[in-house]
Amino acid sequence: MNKLYLHKEIYLRTAVEETLHAFKNIAEIVLEESENYYCLTFNNCKADPYIATKEFGNYALTLTIQSAGDLYD
Protein backbone atom coordinates (compact mmCIF):
# COMPACT_ATOMS: atom_id res chain seq x y z
CA MET A 1 0.00 0.00 0.00
CA ASN A 2 1.41 3.38 -1.01
CA LYS A 3 0.21 6.66 0.42
CA LEU A 4 0.57 10.26 -0.62
CA TYR A 5 -0.27 13.20 1.63
CA LEU A 6 -1.05 16.56 0.03
CA HIS A 7 -1.40 19.61 2.28
CA LYS A 8 -4.68 21.46 1.88
CA GLU A 9 -2.99 24.86 2.16
CA ILE A 10 -1.12 24.10 -1.06
CA TYR A 11 -3.36 21.84 -3.16
CA LEU A 12 -6.86 22.70 -4.32
CA ARG A 13 -9.52 20.04 -3.87
CA THR A 14 -10.61 20.51 -7.49
CA ALA A 15 -7.05 19.86 -8.65
CA VAL A 16 -6.85 16.67 -6.58
CA GLU A 17 -10.20 15.48 -7.95
CA GLU A 18 -9.18 16.23 -11.54
CA THR A 19 -5.91 14.38 -10.99
CA LEU A 20 -7.80 11.39 -9.60
CA HIS A 21 -9.75 11.27 -12.84
CA ALA A 22 -6.60 11.57 -14.96
CA PHE A 23 -4.89 8.74 -13.07
CA LYS A 24 -7.86 6.36 -12.99
CA ASN A 25 -6.19 3.98 -15.47
CA ILE A 26 -2.86 3.98 -13.65
CA ALA A 27 -3.99 2.88 -10.17
CA GLU A 28 -6.95 2.42 -7.89
CA ILE A 29 -6.70 5.53 -5.75
CA VAL A 30 -8.70 6.12 -2.59
CA LEU A 31 -9.05 9.69 -1.29
CA GLU A 32 -9.47 10.36 2.42
CA GLU A 33 -9.19 13.66 4.23
CA SER A 34 -7.94 14.86 7.56
CA GLU A 35 -8.17 18.41 8.83
CA ASN A 36 -5.02 19.49 6.97
CA TYR A 37 -4.29 16.81 4.38
CA TYR A 38 -5.67 14.88 1.45
CA CYS A 39 -4.52 11.31 1.99
CA LEU A 40 -4.37 9.23 -1.16
CA THR A 41 -3.84 5.48 -1.10
CA PHE A 42 -2.58 3.88 -4.30
CA ASN A 43 -3.52 0.25 -4.92
CA ASN A 44 -2.90 -2.02 -7.91
CA CYS A 45 -0.54 0.40 -9.65
CA LYS A 46 0.23 -0.34 -13.27
CA ALA A 47 3.41 1.74 -12.92
CA ASP A 48 6.04 1.88 -10.20
CA PRO A 49 4.08 3.04 -7.11
CA TYR A 50 6.82 5.44 -6.03
CA ILE A 51 6.81 7.13 -9.43
CA ALA A 52 3.00 7.13 -9.62
CA THR A 53 2.64 8.94 -6.29
CA LYS A 54 5.27 11.54 -7.19
CA GLU A 55 3.73 12.18 -10.60
CA PHE A 56 0.28 12.47 -9.04
CA GLY A 57 1.58 15.22 -6.75
CA ASN A 58 3.25 17.00 -9.66
CA TYR A 59 0.09 16.86 -11.76
CA ALA A 60 -2.11 18.16 -8.93
CA LEU A 61 0.34 20.94 -8.15
CA THR A 62 0.43 22.04 -11.80
CA LEU A 63 -3.37 22.21 -11.88
CA THR A 64 -3.39 24.19 -8.64
CA ILE A 65 -0.87 26.69 -10.02
CA GLN A 66 -2.76 26.97 -13.30
CA SER A 67 -5.93 27.77 -11.35
CA ALA A 68 -4.13 30.59 -9.57
CA GLY A 69 -3.05 31.98 -12.92
CA ASP A 70 0.24 33.35 -11.60
CA LEU A 71 2.66 31.37 -13.78
CA TYR A 72 0.56 30.58 -16.81
CA ASP A 73 -1.12 33.88 -17.68
Report the 10 Å Cβ neighbour count for 53. Answer: 22
Q: Are 20 and 31 in contact (CB under 8 A)?
A: yes
What is the pTM (predicted TM-score) of this model? Answer: 0.89
pLDDT band of 71, cuts 50, 70, 90: low
Q: What is the pLDDT of residue 29?
A: 97
Domain ranges of the chain: 2-9+16-68
What's residue 73's pLDDT? 53
* pLDDT: which is higher, 34 or 72: 34
| pLDDT tens, residue by residue, 20-69 | 999 999 999 999 999 999 999 999 999 999 999 999 999 999 999 998 87
